[in-house]
């Protein structure tokens, strides 16, 4: 009864509905810490793949008047991007838990981990209560940031924005430098890593590289551009054939299972396929040529890939925790899309509900 009378106007929810989300987000963030940030995100991929597949099936079944309820049941939104495996909840909780453990439990660091332990988003923390509590707090914080962003009408992907915001807050909260010590000639310079330079022993970890690129197999500009083109076209093609903006994203996220299992040189492409799909959506609104639409999708994929690489060089490579480059790239591109759409310069806003 209270929830039907009282409402939280900024988040657009009744009190009871908000409390349900809050409790679920606390559990979801702890769940992400228990599994580890990257394994939790792999589950995001599987759940979104299921949700999008069900939605495509429902869209092709025709008249559903004889069937009660929806076939798809909102799996993508309520679970995949919701309180269970939503990146702003589970992944964000795992990232914050890793940052916390990097300071509190450095002895837990695996022998084969070469960077600061605060970046080991592959690590599953199991049932350690204080680490799960950190995950819970940041999962709830991620939910609140996303809801407030949507309530205020911020024209961007507020889930991606929340992933970035919670990671930066975790870095500050647990005593890491915001940018970190820059070992090269500039914040963008990865040459200390290429030369095999280590940080000074006085910093407490002589084995830690002086500069830590997000993906040692995916940081050179030419390779990043190439995978951006390929992934963008793949995302655009999947959208052309299925009408799903998020199916390519899901496939890319699922592919990270192999990266988590130690398969070398698996590229990270979910930001690329997602933004490639958005490029296809925008292009199709004004162009009447599917081959050209795919090329535009490839261009958008390149943009996402290059932005992820540029942002990792600023906010990942020099400090001791994970700030997610794909989330930064998605936030930047979708902010531009949202603003340009509101200014009347784009025919639509991609998947943004503007």
Chain Cα centroid distance, residue 24: 19
> Does 70 score more than 80 pLDDT?
no
pLDDT digits over 282-298, tens only?
Answer: 999 999 899 999 999 99
pLDDT of residue 200: 77
> Does 192 score more than 60 pLDDT?
yes
pLDDT of residue 13: 77
- Angle, helices 15-35 vs 92-104, to 10°: value is 50
Write out the E strands in the chain: 7-8, 13-14
* Count of Cβ atoms closer than 10 Å to residue 305 Cβ: 32
Question: Average of pLDDT values for 95-111?
Answer: 95
pLDDT digits over 141-182, tens only?
Answer: 999 999 999 999 999 999 999 999 999 999 999 999 999 999
The burial of 194, by beta-carbon neighbours within 10 Å (0-12 exposed, 13-18 middle, 19 or more buried), is given as middle
pLDDT of residue 61: 73
pLDDT of residue 3: 44
* Count of Cβ atoms closer than 10 Å to residue 65 Cβ: 6
Q: For the chain, how big is the Rg over CA atoms in Å? A: 20
For residues 71 and 77, the model is more confident at: 77
Give, as one character, the DSSP assignment of residue 224.
H
Buried b (16+ CB within 10 A) or exposed e, 232-270: bbbbbbbbbebebbbbbbbbbbbbbbebbeeeeebbbbb
- Angle, helices 270-284 vs 325-342, to 10°: value is 20
pLDDT of residue 57: 86
Buried b (16+ CB within 10 A) or exposed e, 326-345: bbbbbbbbbbebbeebeeee
Query: What are phi and psi for residue 3, nearest 5 degrees?
Result: -65, -25
The CA-atom distances, in angstroms, between 92 and each of 116, 123, 163 are: 18, 14, 6
Question: Average of pLDDT values for 311-326?
Answer: 98
CA pair distance 231, 68, nearest whole angstrom:
38
Q: For residue 41, what pLDDT band results from cuts at 50, 70 and 90?
A: very high
pTM of the predicted model as reported, rounded to 2 decimal places:
0.94
User: To which residue do tokens 């509905």 refer?
Assistant: 17
For residues 10 and 165, the model is more confident at: 165
pLDDT of residue 328: 98
The CA-atom distances, in angstroms, between 123 and each of 44, 69, 112, 254, 260 are: 17, 40, 12, 17, 9
Which residues touch 3 (CB under 8 Å, ≥6 apart)?
14, 15, 16, 17, 19
Q: For residue 263, what pLDDT band results from cuts at 50, 70 and 90?
A: very high
Size (the chain), residues:
354
To the nearest whole number, what is the mean pLDDT of the chain?
Answer: 92
């Amino acid at each position: 009864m209270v929830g039907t009378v009282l409402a939280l106007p900024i988040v657009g929810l009744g009190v009871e509905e908000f409390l349900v989300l809050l409790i679920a987000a606390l559990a979801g963030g702890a769940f992400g810490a228990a599994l580890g940030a990257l394994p939790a995100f792999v589950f995001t991929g599987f759940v979104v793949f299921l949700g999008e597949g069900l939605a495509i099936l429902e869209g092709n079944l025709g008249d559903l008047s004889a069937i009660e309820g929806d076939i798809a049941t909102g799996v993508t939104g309520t679970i995949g991007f919701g309180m269970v495996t939503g990146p702003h909840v589970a992944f964000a909780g795992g990232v914050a838990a890793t940052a916390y453990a990097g300071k509190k439990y450095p002895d837990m660091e695996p022998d084969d981990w070469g960077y600061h332990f605060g970046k080991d988003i592959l690590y599953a923390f199991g049932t350690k209560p204080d680490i799960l509590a950190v995950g819970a707090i940041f999962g709830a914080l991620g939910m609140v940031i996303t809801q407030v962003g949507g309530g205020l009408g911020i024209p961007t992907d507020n889930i991606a924005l929340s992933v970035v915001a919670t990671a930066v807050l975790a870095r500050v909260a647990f005593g890491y430098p915001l940018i970190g010590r820059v070992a090269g000639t500039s914040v963008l310079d990865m040459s200390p890593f290429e030369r095999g330079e280590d940080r000074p022993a006085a910093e407490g970890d002589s084995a830690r590289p002086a500069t830590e690129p997000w993906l040692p197999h995916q940081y050179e500009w030419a390779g990043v551009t190439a995978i951006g083109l390929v992934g963008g076209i793949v995302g655009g093609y999947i959208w052309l054939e299925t009408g799903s903006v998020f199916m390519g994203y899901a496939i890319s996220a699922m592919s990270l299972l192999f990266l988590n299992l130690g398969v070398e040189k698996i590229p990270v492409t979910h930001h690329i396929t997602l933004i490639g799909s958005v490029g296809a959506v925008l292009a199709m609104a004004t162009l009447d040529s599917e081959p050209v639409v795919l090329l535009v999708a490839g261009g958008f994929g390149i943009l996402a890939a290059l932005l992820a690489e540029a942002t990792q060089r600023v906010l990942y490579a020099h400090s001791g925790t994970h700030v997610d480059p794909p989330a930064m790239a998605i936030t930047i591109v979708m902010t531009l899309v949202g603003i340009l759409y509101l200014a009347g310069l784009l025919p639509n806003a991609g998947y943004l509900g503007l």
